[in-house]
Amino acid sequence: QVCVVDLSDEVSRRGLDDAGEGAHFALAADVSREAEAENVVRAAIERMGHIDILVNCHGRGAALVANPIDRITLEEWNAVFEVNATGVFLMCRALAPHMRERRYGKIINLASLAARRANANIPHYSASKAACMNFTMSLAREMAPYNVNVNAINPGLLWTNIWEKDLGVIIGAATDRPARQVFDEYVAATVPLGREQTPDDVGHMAVYLASDESRNVTGQGMVVAGGAWMV
C-alpha cells in the first residue's frame, strides 16, 4: 500500500496513478505544520496497520525567492526552511516511535545537490537542504540501533517549470533564448555524463534505499547528478 500526501487532494490523488494497483490512498496535508504531520502519520497507520517506508519528497524551490542576501526577507528565509527542513523533522519525529517499536524502517529524505554545492543568491535554499542532509545523518545514528535506515537523495539538474518561470534568476543573467535550450547547454557544460537527471533516476535510487539490498546503507546522501558532484 502507498499513501500519497500533498497540499491538495487533487494533486495527491494524481500521484496515485503512478502507484499501480492496490489499496492505495491519498491525504491532503501541509507537513510543515506540526498537527498536520502528526495527523498524517496517525491516519496512515490506522489505514495500513504499519508504515515501513517514509519518503520525504516535499520541498520549496528557491527560485521563486532567489535574491542577494540583503534582499531576502526573514519571511522568505523561514518559508523555505519550514518546508525543506522543518517538514522533514516533523514527519520523522511523528513516525520514529512507530519504527523504533517495530525495529524496522526506511526513511528517505529528498535533499539536493545544493546541500553539497551551494549557489549564489539562494542561501536559504542551500542552507535548508544542508540542514536536511545533516539531520539525516544525525537521525541515522539515533535510529541505527533499532534497525532503521535513514538516507537522503541529492538530485542534480531536473527539467521543471521553474526553468521556464525563473530562467534569468537561475543562470544569473537576462536572456531571450528558449529556456529548454539554455537548460540543455547548462547540462552539457556542468554535468560530466552530459545528460539531465529525470524523476525516474531519482525514483530508482529511492527504490534501492527502500529495499533490503540497502540494509547496510545508512546516513548517506546519495548524489544522482550525472557526475556533477564527485567525492
- 100-105 contact pairs (CB < 8 A, 24+): 100/143, 100/146, 100/148, 102/50, 103/146, 103/147, 103/148, 104/52, 104/147, 104/148, 105/51, 105/52, 105/53, 105/54, 105/143, 105/146, 105/147, 105/148, 105/149
Single out the catalytic residue among 104, 125, 186, 208: 125
Give Cβ neighbours of residue 72 (< 8 Å, ≥ 6 apart).
65, 123, 124
Give Cβ neighbours of residue 155 (< 8 Å, ≥ 6 apart).
110, 112, 113, 197, 201, 202, 224, 225
Question: 25 pairs with which residues across the strands?
Answer: 3
Helix then strand count (H, E) for the chain reads 9, 6
Q: Is 125 a catalytic residue?
A: yes
* Whether 6 contacts 30, CB under 8 Å: no
Q: What residues act catalytically? A: 125
